[in-house]
Amino acid sequence: MPLSISIRTNGTNTFIALSGEIRAESSGQIAEAVSRYHHPEGRCFISTDAAEGCEADARARLHQELVRYGIKSSALYFKGRFAFDLAPDGCRVLVVRQPEKEKAYDSHASVGHHCRRPGCTGNCAACPRCNGKAS
């Protein structure tokens, strides 16, 4: 699938979302989008969340194109599945933490009448503490 670039701006910051296949020959399109929409005082966030893949040569080619357009690497922030594969040296890569699964404790478990196993809700079938058979 060919590369698709969507762009939005928020004051001085630019947000670019990449989808499709990131190839070395499409690196020029990315650099052109950055140079056209990026405000010199702001930051440019490039998301690779919707990308399907990233060629090995795309990083080096993107770096060359950014230098050609005179874009500072320190203003670029990459995130997503292929952020480390695409971000040239000097750029920042944002790592988004996944939310932890919420622990399912009911009121019985919160009183302390459970076996204290991770995720115990106070209803473990084989546990004497959960079944009320232990004191």
Q: Answer positive or negative: Cα dihedral of 65, 68, 73, 75.
A: negative
Q: What pLDDT does residue 104 have?
A: 46
Q: Does the domain formed by 4-94 have CATH 3.30.750.24?
A: yes
Q: What pLDDT does residue 125 have?
A: 67
The amino acid at 8: R
Per-residue pLDDT tens listing for the chain (135 residues): 889 999 999 989 999 999 999 999 999 999 999 999 999 899 999 999 999 999 989 999 999 999 999 999 999 999 999 999 999 999 999 998 777 654 444 444 444 555 666 666 666 666 666 665 554
pTM of the model: 0.71
**Residue ranges, CATH 3.30.750.24, the chain:** 4-94
Q: What pLDDT does residue 97 have?
A: 77
Q: What pLDDT does residue 128 have?
A: 63
Q: What pLDDT does residue 58 have?
A: 94
